[in-house]
Amino acid sequence: MKEKNPWHKPLTIIITVIGVIAIVALVTVAEIPPPVSAQYGIVLDAGSSHTALYIYKWPAEKDNNTGRIEQKHSCKVKGKGISSYAAVPEKAGMSLTECMQEAEMQVPAWRHQETPLYLGATAGMRLLNMENRVASDKVFEAVEKTLQRFPFSYQGARILSGQEEGAFGWVTVNYLDDRLKQGLQTTGALDLGGASTQISFVPREYDISESPSNAVAFRLYGNYYNLYTHSFLCYGKDQALRMALAHQTQSGPITISDPCFHPDYSVTRNYNTLYDSPCVSERKPKVAPLNFIHTGEGNFLQCQEVIKSLFNFKSCKYSKCSFNGIFQPPVQGSFGAFSAYYFVMNFLNLTDVFSALCIDNILTFKLVEQIKKLHSDINEKYLAEYCFSGTYILTLLTEGYNFNTETFSKIKFIKEVSSDAGWTLGYMLNLTNMIPAETKDSPPLPHAGYVSIVTVIVLLLFILCVCRCVWVKGHLTLSNGP
């Protein structure tokens, strides 16, 4: 008699049910995006006037080529830039603590150890390093000590060269605009800091051999870029003001009447403090009182004359120069102008239109007291200096870099393009090799493709199980046969 296998029916049912559940589950999962865990990077921008911390975030699973980086958080360090602590270096380190603690909270704890942390210092530390190497080293020691106390992957603190600062600012602006990956025409970058200013763009025709020190070659996403970049040390907004004041105090007067300041402006300034910078120290008057009174006059054209005297337009050994004998090809294409370019032009409402008449009207140098009442929320020092800064920016752009009415209209004054404009993002992209030189030919297997392959495998296994059951049944029938 044929013996019935008691396990046969339930087993088939169980395998069928599991198979169906597996297929349904996999098809459902295909609709839900996979869980994406994030990766983080931290960059501290130790500028001449202040330090800022930026936290960047990008999807960890995605390929470098496709993962988009966003600015997750920024923190403005209280107080001045690290170079201002030359006499008390330990305070430079301490000043960073609060923002670093904020970073600890912002980055998930389980990601701390693999989060790279960089500090880049710019023109303030460049000047301190020139003036007093020992003091500059001590500031870095103090800063390192603080940064190493935090659980991140500390990658070092260093001074960026002017060329790096300009080039990374250009990378940031073009990365944020998505111009690099798409191989679009690039945008130039104009950065006006407190102690230096940078201009970077891809010229129409560029003979690099004319001035190799101004050339930076990039290969990004399969495209070649020959970038022109230059950083003018001492031509940031604060050092330019120092130079303008030095120009007007050569004879060591007790009072100066400054055309770049409002008619009712009056501040006592100290000669030693004014000349305490390598940008002006050589010009310190031999005989001068301790202080001088800085008063205003409010005259746009005369102010422009004072500012023009800060540039040397005479000597140029190249085919074309901007100023101070520095090679510069003609400006070309659109530009993004950020940092103080934005702060000042935004305040003066000059971000959209440009005409000499307009500038003259806006910078009619009202009484500073009236302006303070109108803008009680804005730092008084900034308010008093906007007229100087506005005139300086327009002179630098038109006389210095040779922007004309047509090319000037292609300058966009920007604070941010999804993330803040500045060199920090470009710096991190470079150090983490986030922008590949080549575009990837074959994209990674998409999630849906992965699910389909697994589904096919599960189906095959299921069919195999069924076949095996049929075979077992046949075998049993045969062995129990007559």
Ligand X SMILES: O=P(O)(O)OP(=O)(O)OP(=O)(O)OC[C@H]1O[C@@H](n2cnc3c(O)ncnc32)[C@H](O)[C@@H]1O
Active site positions, annotated = 165
Residue written as tokens 């679009």? 184
Residue 402 has phi, psi (to 5 degrees) of: 65, 40
| 47 near Ca ion, rule: CB under 5 A | yes
CB of 224 within 8 A of CB of 218? yes
- Distance of alpha carbon 51 from the chain centroid: 13
Q: How far apart are CB 107 and Ca ion at their closest, in Å?
A: 24
Residue written as tokens 């129990």? 480
Say whether 146 counts as a known binding-site residue: no
| 74 near ligand X, rule: CB under 6 A | no
By CB under 5 A, which span of 105-113, 188-196, 314-322, 407-415 interacts with Ca ion? 188-196
CA neighbor of 173 nearest in space, from 372, 390, 10, 333:
333
For residue 275, the 8-state DSSP code is: T
| Residue of 74, 95, 115, 122 that binds ligand X (CB under 6 A) | 122
Q: What is the CA radius of gyration of the chain?
A: 32
Which pair of structure tokens corresponds to residue 319? 């085919």
| Residue of 340, 384, 397, 435 that binds ligand X (CB under 6 A) | 340
| 195 near ligand X, rule: CB under 6 A | yes
By CB under 6 A, which span of 33-41, 48-56, 413-421, 441-449 interacts with ligand X? 48-56
Residue 356 has phi, psi (to 5 degrees) of: -55, -40
**Rounded Cα distance, 59 and 246, in Å:** 51
| Residue of 123, 189, 246, 384 that binds ligand X (CB under 6 A) | 123
| 393 near ligand X, rule: CB under 6 A | no
Which pair of structure tokens corresponds to residue 250? 């050569």
CB of 415 within 8 A of CB of 106? no
| 124 near ligand X, rule: CB under 6 A | yes
Q: From residue 218, how far is each of 179, 180, 442 by CA, in Å?
A: 14, 11, 23
Say whether 194 counts as a known binding-site residue: yes
| 48 near ligand X, rule: CB under 6 A | yes
| Residue of 238, 261, 288, 407 that binds ligand X (CB under 6 A) | 238
| Residue of 57, 72, 181, 237 that binds ligand X (CB under 6 A) | 237
> Binding to ligand X (CB under 6 A): which residues in 345-374?
none
Q: Which residues lie closer than 8 Å to 143 by C-beta, 6 or more apart?
A: 46, 82, 92, 93, 96, 119, 157
Task: Decide which of ligand X, Ca ion, none touches 368; Cβ closer than 5 to 8 Å per partner kind.
Answer: none
Say whether 196 counts as a known binding-site residue: yes
| 136 near ligand X, rule: CB under 6 A | no
| 193 near ligand X, rule: CB under 6 A | yes
CB closest to Ca ion, residue no: 193
Q: Which residues lie closer than 8 Å to 100 by C-beta, 6 or more apart?
A: 53, 146, 147, 150
CB of 403 within 8 A of CB of 411? yes
Task: Decide which of Ca ion, ligand X, none touches 194; Cβ closer than 5 to 8 Å per partner kind.
Answer: ligand X
In a 13 Å sphere around the CA of 310, the CA atoms on its Cβ side amount to 29
In a 13 Å sphere around the CA of 423, the CA atoms on its Cβ side amount to 32
| 162 near Ca ion, rule: CB under 5 A | no
By CB under 6 A, which span of 235-243, 255-263, 314-322, 402-410 interacts with ligand X? 235-243
| Residue of 41, 50, 211, 435 that binds ligand X (CB under 6 A) | 50
| Residue of 40, 44, 49, 164 that binds ligand X (CB under 6 A) | 49
| Residue of 221, 343, 408, 450 that binds ligand X (CB under 6 A) | 343
Say whether 28 counts as a known binding-site residue: no
| Residue of 162, 236, 296, 426 that binds ligand X (CB under 6 A) | 236
Say whether 87 counts as a known binding-site residue: no
CA neighbor of 95 nearest in space, from 133, 165, 156, 47:
47
CB of 366 within 8 A of CB of 262? yes
Q: How far apart are CB 196 and ligand X at their closest, in Å?
A: 5
Which pair of structure tokens corresponds to residue 365? 């140098």
Residue placing its CB nearer to ligand X in the complex, 379 or 433: 379
Q: Which residues lie closer than 8 Å to 285 by C-beta, 6 or more apart?
A: 249, 250, 251, 252, 271
Q: How far apart are CB 315 and ligand X at their closest, in Å?
A: 25
Annotated binding site for ATP: 194-198
Residues making contact with ligand X (CB under 6 A): 47-50, 81, 122-124, 193-196, 236-238, 339-340, 343-344, 382
Residues making contact with Ca ion (CB under 5 A): 47, 193
